[in-house]
Chains A and B, each alone.
Chain A
Amino acid sequence: MLDLYTPGKSIFHRTSPGPKFLLLLIAGTTLFFVDAVWAPLLALCATLVLYRVAGLPQRKALEQLRPVLWLFLFFFVLQWWLSGPYLAAFVVLRLAALLLLASLVTLTTRSSDMIDTITRSLRFLRPIGVNPDKVGLAISLALRFIPVLSNITTEVREAQKARGLERSVLAVAMPVAIRTIKMADDISDAIDSRGYRS
């Protein structure tokens, strides 16, 4: 599956997704309630140690921050101008720690494992009418629909090109919308006719 997973054998890779999400939740909440600059600094160092524990090179950690580097700079300057260097450092450090920890969870967990964990944990919601199997069906269908949608768009665009209409957004979008809705209806009829209990 196309995901952001990086293979490895560390304890972090072997832990099931549940505890990792719990760690992220606790760390994230704590970071927002402690208003001292040492907290994000400590969290940042701890996260970098965890990257080492997970067997990921420090270069990998830097890669996670590269897309938001300009955003950090913008924040830092804005915050310095508004409320001084102390808060500027605090906000940017907190952001970096949180993003790195969140990325660590994503990097060390397979999407398929997370889907399993989600469908398993949804069992507790069965009494209030949530059916985990249906959630699983919706996830698989959504992943399958993504390439189908881009195929339909390509086909319609080619057909409209023959009419000289490929630049009109609506002339492409409307047939795509009608065809996909019709396809969705056909698929649900097909699932029902094969005896899927809903």
Chain B
Amino acid sequence: MTTKDIVYIALFAALTAALGIVPPIPTGFGINITAQSLGVMLAGSLAGARRGGLAMMLFLALIAIGLPLLAGGRGGMAALVGPWSGYVLAWPLCAFLIGALLARRKDANVWLIGAIIAFGGIVVMHAFGIVWYAIFSEIPLGVAFVNNSIFIPGDLVKVVIAALLTNGLRRAYPNL
């Protein structure tokens, strides 16, 4: 692993933490819509599969050691073992998948980039989050699925931002 890899891993872990400063939108269920999953999408689409995935693992490690880096100042082990933690725990996998799929299509246009980011950042992340939530709180998958839908509009906005940014950066910085 080169020094550049280490710096990129640290940068995208820090980006995800910095996005936690953006004030979250409360949903009323004790869990908020935050800007942080944008960091996950960008880690995958800009840093690549391996660096993006490791960046998210580093971020989770920083949470685990007790730094309040999740939106709303949450952190510590308690933030990783709650009923809504499935989303956060899926972040390394999501970033890895987005990076791996994008690496295979260097010529992707903005629509394909968006579709890939939506797959990793919404489909995979939400699938993980829903199953974790259903197992954790012993409720049927269907109910968890319906509860989950409040996050979809916000995540679609994040996918659009991530896709436009990735598309622009791929042109501004061809050897990213």
Chain A positions near chain B (C-beta within 8 angstroms): 1-5, 21, 24, 28, 64, 67-72, 74-75, 78-79, 82-83, 87, 90-91, 95, 98-100, 102-103, 105-107, 109-111, 114-115, 118, 131, 134, 137-139, 141-146, 148-150, 153, 169-170, 173-174, 177-178, 180-181, 184-185, 187-188, 191-192, 196, 198
Contact = CB atoms under 8 A, between A and B. Distances in A.
Contacts of A100: 78
11 contacts: A4-B75, A71-B31, A78-B139, A95-B137, A114-B65, A114-B66, A131-B1, A150-B18, A174-B169, A187-B7, A188-B6
A111 B30 contact: no
Contacts, number: 185
A67 B29 CA distance: 10
Interface of B: 1-4, 6-11, 13-15, 17-18, 21, 28-31, 42, 46, 58-59, 61-62, 64-69, 72, 74-78, 80-84, 136-140, 143, 161, 164-165, 168-169, 172-173, 176
A125 B7 CA distance: 21
B6 A137 contact: yes
Q: Is the interface of A mostly helix, strand, loop or mixed?
A: helix
Q: Which of B76, B138, B176 has the most CB of A within 10 A?
A: B76
B65 A118 contact: yes
B10 A142 contact: yes
Given A102-B78, A138-B10, A185-B4, A75 B66 contact: no
B1 A198 contact: yes
A3 B66 contact: yes
Contacts of B173: 178, 181
Given A138-B58, A145-B14, A91 B29 contact: no
B29 A74 contact: yes
A148 B30 CA distance: 30
A196 B78 CA distance: 36
